[in-house]
Every structure is written in C-alpha cells, then in structure tokens.
Chain A
Amino acid sequence: MSQSAKTLLEVSNLTMRFGGLLAVDGVSFELHDKEVFAIIGPNGAGKTTVFNCIGGFYRPTGGSIRLDGESIEGKASHVVARKGLVRTFQNVRLFKQLTVLENLLVAQHSLINTSLFSGLFKSRAYRQSEEQAQARAAHWLDLLHLREFANREAGNLAYGLQRRLEIARCMITDPRVLMLDEPAAGLNPQEKRDLQVLIDLLRRDYNVAVLLIEHDMSLVMGISDRVLVMEHGCPIVTGLPAEVQRDPRVIKAYLGEE
C-alpha cells in the first residue's frame, strides 16, 4: 500500500452549525492520492454532515475544503461532483425506475454528447457517443458482476447489488475522490469481504482516493490507511488504524461498541 504524498483533498477546521446545534466542530484532515481514509465514530458524531459539507450539499458555517488545491467549500454539489468528487448515500439513492444500464448512462451525462440536434437526427457523433457510453457501462457492469441485471429495473435488485450499482455509478464518472457513506451497512459477511476487495481494487487500478464512513470495524481495520475518529462533531484522534484502535479516548467514546 504505497502512498503518494500528494494531497488530493484538504479539509481545514470545518464547522457546521444548524441553528443552535453545532454538528461539526473543527474537523481537519487530508486525503492523499490513492489513500483509503476512514471516518468513524458513534452515531450522531457528525460524520455524514462532514460528507454533506464536502460534497456541497450543505454550505459549511466555517473552515475550508480544498480539492486538488482548489477551494470548493460552499460550491454546489453538482459543481463539486464535476470536479471529481462523488459519493454514495446511507440510504441507497438509485434511480429506481430506470434500469441498471440506464443508471450508468445517466451518470455519464456530463461526459457524453448531449446536443439536442445531433440526438434528434442520430448523427454519427451522437451514435458514437452513445456506443462509447454503453461500452463504459458494460465495463463497469462486468467488473462488478452486474451484467446479467443490466436491463432490470434498479429498484428490483437485491440490496447488496443495489449498493454495488451505486458504487459503479460513482466510478463511471471517472472521479478523483470517492466518498462511501456506510457502504457495508446491511451486507452479509461475504458481501463485506467482496466490498473490501473492491475498494482496494478501485484505489489501486482506478486512481481514486477513498473517503469512508463506516461502523464495521473489521472493514475499517482491513482496508483503511488512516482513520479519523469523531464524537459529538469533534475530531478525537487521527492516525493509523492500529493506533486508533488502542487509543483510550476512542475506546471511551465507543464504550459498548466493538
């Protein structure tokens, strides 16, 4: 697990306040190229809020977020996504009535030919673009073993497959940073093992850095390069998985959890 020293994502002193509630209080960390960085903590620690701030769904009350040196805090979510930062959601957000294939095609919207006229008359450029989009989709379907479900409605898939599709959908946009919000939730042990292999493959072969929120400790310990622990919106400790696991502050925060 070699790590490039290049910093892809830099979060400094991030704060998010909702009226009287301080959900995130001074979170800072760096995400390096090809790194897997996990954010863990008890429920309500503010982890998803951090994701929402980074992803542009909330406008942070304070702090800065830099993607590849460029400031993105407060930018709209679709703008941030186009810059290469995509995410999955705690409750899988697929386009349920669209087929698996169409989910992957829609995800490529910003990459393909969307000109109205070439589409209306099926110009050569348009047809080529559509073929390429299908080819890219096929690639990801094969990689994630979803090919046989390609023409099925996404909402009809088994839960584990839906989660895989969500990740495929993210990856097809050719991102720099992949944020996974509790990707192991609801998966059986075999699926969790597959997920771990998948994350490793993605960061190795597809040049993404992975930011991960997780509760499943074996997954976190198994795949992460570094871990940040949060509680009540505050960062407690950042470090290597083994260190963090032994840290007394972390154990205290997690009292009763694995």
Chain B
Amino acid sequence: MFSRVKTALFAAIIAGVIIAPVFGLQITRVGMATTIVPEWNMIFRGMAIVFVFHLIRPYLAKFIFKPKAKFTAPVMGDKGRKALTFLLIAIALIWPFFSGRSQVDIATLVLIYVMLGLGLNIVVGYAGLLDLGFVGFYAVGAYTYALMYHWLGLGFWWALPCAGIMAGIFGYILGFPVLRLRGDYLAIVTLGFGEIIRLLLINLYDFTGGPDGISGIPKPTVFGFPMARRAPEGETTFHDLMGWSFNNQDVVIYLYMLALVLALITLFVSNRLIRMPVGRAWEALREDEIACRSLGLNPTGIKLSAFTIGATFAGFGGAFFAARQGIVNPESFGFIESALILAIVVLGGMGSQIGVILAAILLTVVPEIARGFAEYRMLVFGLVMVLMMVWRPQGLMPVKRPTVELKA
C-alpha cells in the first residue's frame, strides 16, 4: 500500500512539473509588459487526477481491462466483411439523395481519404513499408492537375490519369534508392522526401505559384460540357444541353458521384491486388524478407511495386482534391496529412480495407462535427494515436486476413 502511495505521489509531482510551464503559468502580454498568470488550480487538479489514477490503477486493471479480453469483438470473417462492404456501398450510393449539400461535400472528402487510405494501406499494411511521406504523392497528383490547367489549359479528364501516372513515377523514382533501408530509416527518409516536395512547391515560385499556389482549378466536365451556371464563350453547359435548370447542388453531387466511382475502382483494384501473387509477395516480404530472398523473390522489386501503386492511388486522390477545392497550395501538403492518412490505416487495422474505409469516415467526419473544438482537434488526434497503440494496435476492427483456400 505504501509503495503505491509513493508511486502515486511521484507521478503526481511529475504531472505538476509537466503542467506548470504550459498550463500553470501562462505568459500573457499586458500592454507592453509580459507577465505570468498563474493558474494554480490547473496544476493542482492535474496532480490530483494523476495521484488518484495511480492509486486506483490496480483496481482499474482488474475490473476494466481484464474483462475487456472477454468482450473483445470477435474477428470478422469473410462473410461479415463482404456484407459490411456492400452495406457501405449501398449507403454511399443513396447518400446524395438523402442529405444536404454540405453533407455530400464532406462525403466527397471522405471518399478522397478512402482512396488515400487504401493506397497507404498497400504500402504500410501489406508490404510493411513505413512511409511517412505519402503526402508528397498526394501533392504531386494535386499539382499535376493544377499545373496542367494553369500552363496548358487542360481539364480534369486529361489531368486525372496524368496525376496518377506522375505520382506513380515519383513513387518509382523515389522508391528505388530508399526501399532497401531498414524500417525506421525508411520512415525518416520518406518523411524527408515529403518535406522536400513541399519545400520545392513553396520555392519554385515561378512554376508552382509558390506559397499562394494555383487557384481557379475547374471542376470536372460532363463529357466535355462544363457543369456551371454559365458557360464560357462558345460552350454549352451541361444543364443547357439537358434542358435542366441549374442548381448548385448538382455540381456537388456530380463531384461526389465521380469520387465514388473512383473510390470503388480503387477498392476493386486494391481488393484484387492483395489476392494476386503480388499481394502475397507483399505480405511474405513484410513477414520475413530473408526467407523471401532465399526463395528467389526480389525484395526491391516487390517493395517498389507496392510503393508505386500506393503513390498512384495518392495521385488520383490529389487530382480530386484539386478539383474539389479549386485551389492548391503547399500548406495543404504538410507532414500532418501524412500522419492523418497513416492514422486512418492504423486505426482501420493495417491490411484491412473495410477498416480503412470506416476509419476514413471516422477521422474525416468527427473533426467536421466537432468544429467548435477545432483547437483541441489535433491534441485529441495525437492522444488518440498514442492510446490506440498502447491499447489496441491491431486497429478498431480487426478483420480476418483473406486467404487462399485449397480447393479439395
């Protein structure tokens, strides 16, 4: 008992020291001078909470954490997975007809993150490559569209495949030298690449528009007919063609539908890939690279395929992002985006596509709902990441690996 009190006291003191310089003694400007505004109750409250927590910790362990083992949701099998996937797709299809404009807009963002998540899922979840610079490929995709529009006047349908291809090329070139690096090092190098891309976008002012970026990026057309209230010179709008009256809602729905189609394609491709030899090779490589080599599998080639494909998905997502926002600038492509996409993959349970989809929904929708707490958003995000790893690293919803069954 006494030792527990000692630990609790120690922890409380540490807590006090930690809270004091950040929340306990706030530096404020009063006119010209800077003073300290002590918030003693913040410090004491924090210390008290920590103290009590440590005292009751063993009891918590007995009553809260142990039963958790019994109540863990059973791992979802193949049938459940398929059912849930179809349910989600069904909801996605009818969504725009049952909700308002802003909800559809958010849903489009969700779909973009689904694409990104599925892409990174291949890299991190399947091939086991720690990529912290995924945002770089996202940026390449977005800027490919932006630059193609800005310098060549080309529209979305030209840019979309180019965005994917450009991102894929970047993935290949960047992946080639670094994929033989060990786990942590690979993570930092990819982080470096992501940052280098962002810095280049900021500094190549004449080409990329620098920190201001590029604006006025058009939404996708419908078979060449722009979807807008008024068409540019000599063109007919889609609505004029169809004889409909223009409604802003339609633009949003159209973009959503396109995003949905692309997301479904991404899901289909990703689904196929993991059941193909290349997908098995990714998993084998993640498990034991040396064993792979001893069987004739070339690790670099296999890693490159995962990296490149993931990058291509990110490129498509980037093009969509540019279309949805209408503006691109380097601000949107910082490390925090990579961390967010990584969080989606991790939360979803690495390797589980349905998990990624659900996590993308969760991590996009919740911050939008909790707009009022915007300040605390990132704080909670970081905290959740730590807690997830400590309590449930396998993800919110672990799914049974799809396996190849022996046909009798």
- Do A and B share a direct contact in the complex (Cβ within 8 angstroms)? yes
- Enumerate chain A interface residues (CB-CB to B < 8 A): 55-57, 76-78, 81-82, 86-87, 89, 93-99, 101-103, 105-107, 109-110, 112-114, 116, 119-120, 134, 137-138, 141, 147, 150-151, 169-170, 173
- Asked whether A57 lies within 8 Å of B296 as measured between CB atoms, the reply is no
| Beyond A56-B293, A78-B293, A105-B277, 13 extra complex contacts between A and B, CB < 8 Å | A57-B290, A77-B293, A81-B294, A81-B295, A93-B291, A95-B291, A101-B405, A106-B280, A106-B281, A109-B295, A119-B277, A170-B295, A173-B295
Q: A107-B295, A109-B297 are in contact. Are A95 and B283 (CB under 8 A)?
A: yes
- Asked whether A120 lies within 8 Å of B272 as measured between CB atoms, the reply is yes
- Asked whether B294 lies within 8 Å of A101 as measured between CB atoms, the reply is no
* A89 neighbours in B (Cβ, 8 Å): 290-291, 294
- Asked whether A93 lies within 8 Å of B278 as measured between CB atoms, the reply is no
- Asked whether B401 lies within 8 Å of A86 as measured between CB atoms, the reply is no
6 A-B pairs closest in CB distance: A81-B296, A119-B276, A150-B406, A93-B291, A77-B293, A82-B296
**Chain B nearest CB: distance from A126 CB in Å?**
8
* B293 neighbours in A (Cβ, 8 Å): 56-57, 76-78, 81
* B295 neighbours in A (Cβ, 8 Å): 78, 81, 86, 106-107, 109-110, 169-170, 173
**Chain A nearest CB: distance from B399 CB in Å?**
13
- Enumerate chain B interface residues (CB-CB to A < 8 A): 269, 272-273, 276-278, 280-281, 283-284, 287-288, 290-299, 401, 403-407
- Asked whether A102 lies within 8 Å of B280 as measured between CB atoms, the reply is yes
**Chain A nearest CB: distance from B324 CB in Å?**
27
**Chain A nearest CB: distance from B209 CB in Å?**
35
- Asked whether B281 lies within 8 Å of A97 as measured between CB atoms, the reply is no
Q: Which of A78, A96, A103, A173 contacts B299 (CB 8 A)?
A: A78
Considering the chains assembled together, what is the distance between the CA atoms of A150 and B404 in angstroms?
A: 10
Of chain B, the residue at the smallest CB distance from A88 is B294
Considering the chains assembled together, what is the distance between the CA atoms of A78 and B407 in angstroms?
A: 30
> Can you list 16 A-B pairs with a CB-CB distance of less than 8 A?
A57-B294, A78-B293, A78-B296, A78-B298, A86-B294, A95-B291, A97-B287, A98-B280, A101-B404, A101-B406, A102-B403, A106-B283, A109-B280, A110-B296, A119-B278, A169-B295
- Asked whether B405 lies within 8 Å of A151 as measured between CB atoms, the reply is yes
**Chain B nearest CB: distance from A112 CB in Å?**
6
* A57 neighbours in B (Cβ, 8 Å): 290, 293-294
**Chain B nearest CB: distance from A198 CB in Å?**
19
* B294 neighbours in A (Cβ, 8 Å): 55, 57, 77-78, 81, 86-87, 89, 93
Considering the chains assembled together, what is the distance between the CA atoms of A40 and B277 in angstroms?
A: 38
Of chain A, the residue at the smallest CB distance from B272 is A120
- Asked whether A99 lies within 8 Å of B298 as measured between CB atoms, the reply is no
- Give the interface centre of B278, B284, B293, B295 by most chain A CB atoms within 10 Å: B295
* B277 neighbours in A (Cβ, 8 Å): 105-106, 109, 112-114, 119
Q: A95-B288, A120-B269, A120-B272 are in contact. Are A138 and B283 (CB under 8 A)?
A: no
Considering the chains assembled together, what is the distance between the CA atoms of A147 and B408 in angstroms?
A: 10
* A98 neighbours in B (Cβ, 8 Å): 280, 283-284, 287, 403
Q: Which of B288, B297, B298, B407 contacts A93 (CB 8 A)?
A: B288
Considering the chains assembled together, what is the distance between the CA atoms of A173 and B294 in angstroms?
A: 10
- Asked whether A97 lies within 8 Å of B272 as measured between CB atoms, the reply is no
Q: Which of B269, B288, B292, B404 contacts A102 (CB 8 A)?
A: B404
Considering the chains assembled together, what is the distance between the CA atoms of A116 and B284 in angstroms?
A: 18
**Chain B nearest CB: distance from A177 CB in Å?**
12
Q: Which of B281, B401, B404, B406 contacts A138 (CB 8 A)?
A: B406
* B290 neighbours in A (Cβ, 8 Å): 57, 77, 89, 93
- Asked whether B297 lies within 8 Å of A110 as measured between CB atoms, the reply is yes
* A87 neighbours in B (Cβ, 8 Å): 294
- Asked whether A151 lies within 8 Å of B297 as measured between CB atoms, the reply is no
Considering the chains assembled together, what is the distance between the CA atoms of A56 and B297 in angstroms?
A: 13
Considering the chains assembled together, what is the distance between the CA atoms of A101 and B287 in angstroms?
A: 16
Q: A57-B290, A97-B287 are in contact. Are A109 and B296 (CB under 8 A)?
A: yes
Q: Which of A103, A106, A134 contacts B407 (CB 8 A)?
A: A134
Of chain A, the residue at the smallest CB distance from B277 is A114
* B287 neighbours in A (Cβ, 8 Å): 95-98
Of chain A, the residue at the smallest CB distance from B268 is A120
**Chain A nearest CB: distance from B294 CB in Å?**
6
* A169 neighbours in B (Cβ, 8 Å): 295
